[in-house]
Amino acid sequence: MKLKWALFCALSATMSAAFGDAPEPVNAERFNTRNGVVRVGEIGPAFQHNALVVDGKRIFVGPSDGILLWHDYRVGTADAVLFDTGCSGSSCGDPDRYYFALLRRGKHPVIISDPDFYSADGRIDPRPATAQGAVVIELGFEKGLRKWAELKGSRVTIHHESSDARISVEACKQVHSMALDDCSKTYVPDRKCDFGLPVGSVADMGNLRSLSNAPGFDSAALGAACHAQCSTGVRSSFDTFSKEVCGIK
């Protein structure tokens, strides 16, 4: 779980540079709520941390190898614990899935989620519950749209909306620098220049996949710039790159 948290922090640093800082969420493997003690439990011969336990009883087993508790919300007389399931390795492809465990006095815990309850760019910002008991979880951007989840009662609704936000000049410079370094290296497969994105480390590629969801960012233009540089040896200027790839006018 430490590796998973380290990767999240590295990705958050990149996204913070692009869109500004977000409050760091509460993170733990145990919450003492009003309606029960919630913790992460081990399961299986590999002792994977993918079970959710409430008052000593296992109520949920995740589909992957780890669970991370994010936040404990007081929603009226109920408690809603936000958690995720995901892969803890450095090369995981699928995004973490998010859930709420809804705890109510005298009732069995209920797991609430939605197939779209994930962050495409790896950014998550849990907001405080409102006076009306609604909980909003900011989920970064997906395909250029702002994405957030809303918990009301026992239902999670996922929202998308357009945004005028753009990645920062600093973040664009980081991508431009990586493209200059990686799009002409000798390890480009067969020197055919037929790749779609710069060839870099796992962390670099993860950051690019995240930024590809940002408003104004054009992954196709990045691939074209990389291909042109590889084919001609002529490096793209930052002025051109920032406009065509990062959407900075």
Mean pLDDT of 212-236: 86
Number of domains in the chain: 2
Given a contact cutoff of 8 angstroms between Cβ atoms, the answer to whether 74 and 34 are in contact is yes
Question: pLDDT confidence of 87, banded at 50, 70, 90?
Answer: low
* Inside any domain, residue 249: no
Among the listed residues 83, 78, 96, 84, the one whose alpha carbon sits nearest the alpha carbon of residue 152 = 78
- Whether residue 164 has pLDDT greater than 50: yes
Higher-scoring residue by pLDDT: 119, 179: 119
* Inside any domain, residue 16: yes
- Whether residue 188 has pLDDT greater than 60: no
- Whether residue 145 has pLDDT greater than 80: yes
Same domain, 105 and 213: no
Same domain, 83 and 144: yes
Same domain, 101 and 183: no
Phi/psi for 75 (5° steps) reads -120, 95
- The pLDDT value recorded for residue 141 is 94
Question: pLDDT confidence of 50, banded at 50, 70, 90?
Answer: confident
Same domain, 68 and 150: yes
- The pLDDT value recorded for residue 197 is 57
Range(s) of the domain holding residue 110: 2-161
Q: Domain boundary at 133, 161, 189, which?
A: 161
- The pLDDT value recorded for residue 127 is 84
Mean pLDDT, all residues of the chain: 80
Which of 67-71, 77-81, 166-170, 201-205 reaches the highest mean pLDDT?
Answer: 77-81
* Inside any domain, residue 176: yes
- Whether residue 187 has pLDDT greater than 70: no
- The pLDDT value recorded for residue 25 is 46
CA distance linking residue 34 with residue 88, whole number of Å? 30
